[in-house]
Structure 1
Amino acid sequence: MDEKQIIEAVKEAKEKSKKRGFNQSLEIGINLKDVKLEGADKINTSIKLPNGRGRDIEVGVFAEGDLNMKAKKYSKHVLNKEEIEEYAKDRRKMKKFAGECYGLIAQPDLMSIIGKKWGIILGPRNKMPQIMPPNKDVKEYIKDLKNTVRVKSKKNPTIHVPVGTEDMEDQKLAENIQAVYTGIERTIPVEKIANIYCKTTMGPAVKIKW
């Protein structure tokens, strides 16, 4: 994709969007063609945005000991093993916890109990935790996850992906869009991408020339 064309589309999307009482997200819509989304063309990947989302999101952490204490510096949603078991007794508490977190991470040795007691809630929501690598700094891991978007195809051949907020610089939004496009291009042949649009939350769609 040509960066100049992306920037022009981003500018146009912002200009055509009426000002609202909140900082709108900017997203892209990717229309696919000639695809079998339940088969070989199914897309389910995660892509890191080089310039972040433009707003903070919450990442939940399941951890014990020192890792638990460190995680609490960077997340409001941190549970130890005892709390994991306690929450498992109340589905409403599990649903609330899962709903308030964009993503979840966990110590490897807690995955068994999470799968057994939380799987019924997290599985259908596609929110089973990512396993925390033992040598990875929890601060950096949470930061990486906050800047990562999920790209998943459903029955509709259009994929919507948030790439930032309207107050971000056009250049940075363009770089995020390019990263998403490159990530999708690795999972599906480019000839199956019909067209790409960008828009703010409440604004009209603007086609990106590519």
Structure 2
Amino acid sequence: MPKKRGKKYIEAAKKVEAALAGNGNGGLDPEAAVAMVKDTSVSKFDATVEAHIRLGVDPRHAEQMVRGSVVLPNGTGKKVRVAVFATGDKQREAQDAGADFVGGDDLVKKVSDGWTDFDAAVATPDIMSKVGPLGKILGPRGLMPNPKSGTVTFDVARAVREVKGGKVEFRTDKFGIVHAPIGKVSFDQKQLHQNLGALVDALIRNKPATSKGQYLRSFYLAATQGPSVPVDVKEAAKLHTSS
């Protein structure tokens, strides 16, 4: 049974439709799309703005799985609770950097007992043999430390600062779509546009060598509970820096 939409949502969706009327590109340019998402947010709280981007990859093949991370220049607007698995001096480094939970064997046991009250995890390489078995708990929640995303490292201080400062991890789902937050509706338009540019840049830099044809296939922005706003993929691709 289709979900019944409220009056505010219907009015917001009509605004999006009106903006797209006569638009032969199938989407708004990124700056206009960001403005539209802010204008059509219907939630009473400070909604998260998310990007949903379908890539020209076949995730059934491991070499075409797109996975990485990006530090959003203006952060996510969310308070991130970070857990760090480490021993010795690395525990103090993590605490000094602002980690919320730090431990070694004790933290491993706590998580193995089912505790996952944190938003991101960092681990030093020398403790991964103990953290690895926690994959069945942390993996499905997207909390497993991973060297590809910079969360398995001896430089725990830097990792903690990056995660708390707006680091976002992304990966394609089984349909080849990446879902990632780019900030809050309360952010000004420039902040959201800059964050979006950083995400697009990271996605293009992580394009698999075996991906052929158009890479950015479809692109939508949406605020929590708000309507989806299509983005012109050709204009979005221009957000990629050449440096």
TM-score normalized with structure 1 length: 0.80
Consecutive unaligned residues in structure 1, runs of 5 or more: none
Paired residues, what number? 194
Per the alignment, do residues 203 and 87 of structure 1 end up closer, same or farther by CA in structure 2, a change over 3 Å counting? Answer: same
Matched, 1:113 2:110: no
Residue aligned with 1:141, SS: helix
Q: CA deviation at 1:126?
A: 4.6
Q: Against the structure 1 CA distance between its residues 204 and 120, is the aligned structure 2 distance closer, same or farther, given a 3 Å change threshold?
A: closer
Structure 1 residue 19: Cα displacement: 4.1
Matching of residue 178 in structure 1 with residue 197 in structure 2: yes
User: What do you get for the CA RMSD once the two structures are aligned?
Assistant: 2.4
Instruction: Render the CA deviation track for 1:2-43: whole Å, top value 9, x for unaligned.
Output: xx93222111111112241x211001111235x311114321
Q: Distance in 2 between matches of 1:202 and 1:124?
A: 24
Equivalent residues in 2 for 1:42-81 (5 A)?
Answer: 42-73=65-96, 74-81=98-105
Equivalent pair of 1:52/1:164 in contact (CA under 8 Å)? yes
Which residue of 1 is the match for residue 60 of structure 2? Answer: 38
Shift of 1:165: 0.7
Q: 1:177, CA displacement in angstroms?
A: 0.6
Q: Which one scores higher on RCO, CA 8 angstroms, separation ≥ 6? A: 1
Whole-Å separation in 2 of the counterparts to 1:142 and 1:12 = 33
| Contact 1:27–1:199, Cα closer than 8 Å, also in 2 | yes
Aligned mate of 2:221, from 178, 187, 198:
198
User: Structure 1 121/9 Cα, relative in aligned 2: closer, same or farther at 3 Å?
Assistant: same
Q: Can you list the C-alpha shifts for 1:160-180, whole angstroms capped at 9, x where unaligned? A: 111111111211111111111
Equivalence for 1:166: 185
- Whether contact under 8 Å (2:94, 2:156) holds in the other structure is no
User: Is 2:209 the partner of 1:187?
Assistant: no
Structure 1 residue 113 displacement after superposition: 2.1
Task: Give the equivalent residue in structure 2 for 1:91.
Answer: 113
Identify the residue that residue 143 of structure 1 maps to in structure 2.
161
Matched, 1:25 2:43: no
Q: Distance between the aligned counterparts of 1:111 and 1:59, measured in 2?
A: 17
Alpha-carbon contact 2:80-2:163 (below 8 Å) kept:
no
The amino acid that maps onto 2:194 is E
Mapped to 1, the partners of 2:29 and 2:108 lie a distance apart of 52
Measured in 2, the distance between the counterparts of 1:194 and 1:151 equals: 17
Inter-partner Cα distance in structure 2 for 1:180 and 1:193? 12
**Counterpart position of 1:128:** 144
Q: Distance in 2 between matches of 1:197 and 1:124?
A: 25
Structure 1 stretches of 4+ moved >6 Å: none
Alignment-mate amino acid for residue 47 of structure 2: Q
| 1:102 alignment partner in structure 2 | 119
Whole-Å separation in 2 of the counterparts to 1:180 and 1:208: 14
In structure 2, distance between residues paired with 1:163 and 1:169: 12
1:115 Cα deviation after fit: 2.1
Counterpart amino acid of residue 114 in structure 1: V
Q: Structure 2: how far apart are the matches of 1:122 and 1:137?
A: 19
1:84·1:114 contact (CA, 8 Å) conserved in 2?
no
Q: TM-score scaled to structure 2, two decimals?
A: 0.70
